[in-house]
């Protein structure tokens, strides 16, 4: 790769890491949790960039308190399983939630639809003072909303889930949200 390509790539990665850290500052998570999650995300992405055995172009990686959510599509069951194994062996990952679907890559039209759903839902979360937006990661894949994060209580999780269900275009909502007092939060590699 040419030096011209590396500089924008490093800048992009650095900006993403900084945004993750800033988000951690306005949640029920520690600053260290944000740093650890960013590290786990970058560790797996660097492995995937060098692995030429499978096509990971349609994979999204989301990490929240060591819990790694994998979404998107893979062309084969073998590739999905391999990705899951790589994720499980990533430093800083305590749990892998493999929601990857085996099939064709997501179309540009579907990607655009998913982005619109994500933006609408994010706006709803931001407008609702009963939902701490920074405690949730929202991933939209093929009109399915995946929620990963940390709810204050059952009422907050219900509000967040209801907002997702009521967002136009959403076909399904899958929650991988823990509650603040869940003992799985304390387990870190």
pLDDT tens profile 74-115: 999 999 999 999 999 998 899 999 999 999 999 999 999 999
The alpha helices in the chain, defined as continuous H runs, are: 3-24, 31-50, 77-88, 108-127, 154-166
Predicted model pTM: 0.78
- Buried/exposed code over 10-48 (b: 16+ C-beta within 10 A; e: otherwise): eeeeeeebeebeebbeebbbeeebbebbbbbbbbbeeeb
Is residue 106 within 8 A of residue 72, CB to CB? The reply is: yes
Tokens of 132: 């701490």
What local confidence, expressed as pLDDT, does residue 186 receive? 58
Encoded tokens for 38: 């960013």
pLDDT of res. 7: 57
Token pair 């893979």 is found at: 74
* Among 43-52, 74-83, 165-174, the least confident range: 43-52
Please report the pLDDT score of residue 133 as a whole number.
87
Encode pLDDT of 7-45 as tens digits.
565 555 555 555 555 544 445 544 445 556 777 778 888
Is the model more confident about 65 or about 41? 65
pLDDT score of 181 more than 80: yes
CA 17/CA 103 separation, integer angstroms = 30
Q: In what order do the strands lie in the sheet with 136-141?
A: 136-141, 144-151, 172-179
Q: How far is CA 39 from CA 17, 24, 66, 111, 152, in A?
A: 8, 14, 10, 26, 25
Answer with the residue of higher pLDDT: 96 or 5: 96
């Amino acid at each position: 790769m040419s030096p011209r390509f590396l500089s924008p790539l490093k800048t992009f990665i650095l900006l993403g890491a900084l945004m993750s850290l800033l988000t951690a500052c306005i949640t029920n998570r520690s600053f260290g949790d944000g740093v650890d999650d960013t590290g786990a995300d970058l560790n797996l992405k660097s492995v995937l960039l060098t692995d030429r055995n499978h096509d990971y172009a349609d994979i999204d990686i989301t990490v929240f308190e060591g819990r790694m959510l994998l979404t998107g599509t893979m062309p084969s069951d073998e590739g999905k399983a391999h990705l899951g194994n790589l994720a499980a062996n990533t430093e800083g990952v305590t749990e892998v939630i493999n929601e990857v679907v085996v099939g064709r890559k997501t179309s540009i039209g579907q990607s655009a639809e998913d982005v619109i759903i994500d933006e609408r839902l994010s706006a709803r979360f931001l407008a609702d003072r009963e939902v701490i937006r920074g405690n949730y990661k929202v991933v939209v894949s093929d009109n399915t909303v995946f929620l990963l994060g940390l709810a204050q209580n059952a009422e907050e999780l219900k509000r967040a889930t209801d907002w997702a269900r009521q967002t136009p275009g959403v076909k399904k909502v899958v929650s991988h949200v823990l509650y603040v007092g869940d003992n799985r939060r304390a387990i870190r590699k």
